[in-house]
């Protein structure tokens, strides 16, 4: 059995998507975990009220094709669910289902989750998330498939299989988790804790059309023409990062997985079905996430963890770290950024957001959920110069 499978899939056409899914799944054992009578859950990425063509959510044609394959395999039922950013209520999520085209998957035989209970999990094996609240619908599933979207991401550099499982946290609680884990490394460790707690049977990446630029919600739809699949979300992500021009070190969730021995140091150490070189995405516009603080510190002071280097790192952190910032002329003064900010670092003055940099934890929630895409990831000039 292969570690990861990648295949071409040029468009969201029903027959092509079904055939591509079969080709992607076969090298990693297909749907052999599905037993007759099972209830299979599909954790899709339904982040917000965005149409399928925006490139931000798992496409309904793929979800429809997978639903049919699961039912043909003998699954008694298939349920698709997610907790978008916002209220985890029937009224709110129904509108997200409608906007993202999920009724197409429903017509193919899937159920759309209508269980909005919340449960508490004890997770002593977690690195940082020893206890957390999750969406109760997952308890009713005998098997779980993580079906994500390949996108750029302000805080985590890339949103794919590992990051998709953050949608197991009820939407209104997500800002609390950002505030609890403001450091990118700890936030990534929390994500990996969720992945390891739920352990999806299968991870599939929708990269037919993804999103680059100001992702994960307000970037540009990016044709990629590919699907990826793996039994491990972290192995799938390691290959996806390579496909869009990121290193393991650029993606905090991959670093968190690597420190726990869940992935090798390089994608080259994986047994991959498919041609990575042929499926690389040309000119993928990554937000820009290289760890300038670490690399600049090592360049000047050498490797190691001396007191001088730690002190230097704290100073340079503020000077070099990317941060959210409003784009002049694009902001309409709706105040959504101030409303969603977990650190309460944003206030509205004269219908424009003002960010208190001393309070900002750089979670990029404001950038992710700005309805106009006016909040951008801004890299300080010195960081851009050093990267060159």
pLDDT tens-digit series, residues 218-239: 999 999 999 999 999 999 999 9
Quickly count: other Cβ atoms within 10 Å of residue 257's Cβ: 26
Mean pLDDT of 353-366: 89
The residue assigned the tokens 């957001």 is: 353
pLDDT at 361: 84
pLDDT at 129: 97
Contacts of 66 (CB under 8 A, 6+ apart): 21, 42, 145, 147, 204
pLDDT at 222: 98
Q: State yes or no: pLDDT of 359 exceeds 60.
A: yes
| pLDDT confidence band for 135 (50 / 70 / 90) | very high
**Mean pLDDT lowest among 101-110, 187-196, 215-224, 360-369:** 360-369
pLDDT at 327: 87
The residue assigned the tokens 């509108």 is: 95
| pLDDT confidence band for 308 (50 / 70 / 90) | low
Domain extents for the chain? 4-279, 292-387
* Alpha-carbon distances, residue 387 vs 58, 296, 342, 382 (angstroms): 33, 9, 30, 9
pLDDT at 362: 83
Q: In a 10 Å sphere around its CB, with 0-12 CB exposed, 13-18 middle and 19+ buried, how is residue 24 labelled?
A: buried
Q: Cβ distance 378 to 322 under 8 Å?
A: yes
**pLDDT tens for residues 238-248?**
999 999 999 99
Average pLDDT over all residues of the chain: 91
Q: State yes or no: pLDDT of 354 exceeds 60.
A: yes
**Which is more confident, 290 or 48?**
48
What is the distance between the alpha carbons of residues 329 and 327, in angstroms, rounded to a whole number?
6
pLDDT at 329: 86
Mean pLDDT of 104-128: 98
Q: Is 222 helix (H, G, I), strand (E, B) or coil?
A: strand
- 271 phi and psi angles, rounded to 5 deg: -95, 105
Of 149, 169, 175, 174, residue with least CA distance to 161: 149
Tokens read off for 55: 């490139």
Q: State yes or no: pLDDT of 300 exceeds 60.
A: no
Mean pLDDT of 196-215: 97
What is the CATH number that goes with domain 292-387? 3.30.70.20
**Which is more confident, 177 or 385?**
177
What is the distance between the alpha carbons of residues 151 and 320, in angstroms, rounded to a whole number?
23
Contacts of 267 (CB under 8 A, 6+ apart): 238, 239, 241, 242, 248, 276
pLDDT at 294: 42
Of 56, 54, 61, residue with least CA distance to 11: 61
Q: State yes or no: pLDDT of 292 exceeds 50.
A: no
**pLDDT tens for residues 261-288?**
999 999 999 999 999 999 999 999 998 6
Q: Which superfamily does CATH assign the domain made up of 4-279 to? A: LarA, N-terminal domain (3.40.50.11440)
**Mean pLDDT lowest among 148-152, 170-174, 208-212:** 170-174
């Amino acid at each position: 059995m292969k570690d990861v499978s990648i295949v071409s899939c040029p468009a969201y056409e029903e027959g092509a998507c079904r055939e591509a899914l079969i080709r992607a799944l076969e090298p990693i054992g297909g749907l052999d975990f599905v037993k007759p009578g099972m209830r299979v859950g599909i954790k899709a990425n339904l982040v917000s009220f965005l149409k399928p063509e925006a490139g931000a959510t798992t496409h309904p044609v793929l979800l429809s094709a997978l639903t049919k394959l699961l039912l043909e395999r003998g699954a008694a039922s298939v349920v698709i669910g997610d907790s978008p950013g916002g209220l985890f209520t029937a009224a709110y999520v129904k509108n997200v289902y409608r906007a993202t085209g999920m009724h197409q998957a429903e017509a193919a035989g899937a159920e759309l989750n209508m269980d909005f209970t919340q449960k508490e999990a004890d997770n002593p094996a977690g690195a940082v998330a020893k206890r957390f609240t999750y969406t109760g619908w997952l308890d009713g599933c005998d098997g779980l498939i993580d079906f994500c979207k390949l996108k750029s991401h302000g805080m985590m550099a890339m949103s794919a299989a590992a990051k998709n499982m953050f949608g197991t946290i009820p939407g209104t609680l997500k800002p609390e988790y950002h505030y609890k884990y403001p450091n990118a490394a700890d936030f990534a460790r929390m994500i990996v804790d969720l992945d390891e707690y739920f352990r999806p049977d299968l991870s599939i990446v929708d990269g037919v059309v993804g999103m680059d630029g100001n992702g994960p919600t307000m970037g540009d739809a990016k044709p990629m023409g590919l699907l990826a699949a793996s039994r491990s979300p972290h192995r799938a992500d390691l290959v996806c990062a390579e496909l869009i021009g990121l290193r393991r070190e650029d993606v905090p969730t991959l670093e968190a997985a690597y420190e726990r021995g869940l992935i090798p140091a390089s994608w080259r150490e994986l047994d991959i079905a498919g041609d990575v070189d042929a499926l690389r995405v040309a000119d993928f516009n990554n937000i820009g996430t290289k760890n300038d603080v670490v690399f600049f510190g090592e360049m000047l002071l050498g490797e190691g963890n001396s007191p001088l280097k730690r002190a230097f790192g704290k100073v340079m952190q503020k000077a070099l770290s990317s941060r959210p910032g409003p784009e002049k002329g694009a902001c309409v003064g709706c105040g959504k950024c101030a409303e969603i900010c977990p650190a309460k670092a944003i206030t509205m003055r004269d219908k424009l957001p003002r960010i208190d940099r001393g309070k900002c934890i750089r979670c990029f929630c404001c950038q992710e959920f700005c309805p106009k895409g006016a909040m951008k990831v801004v890299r300080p000039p010195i960081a851009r110069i050093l990267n060159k």
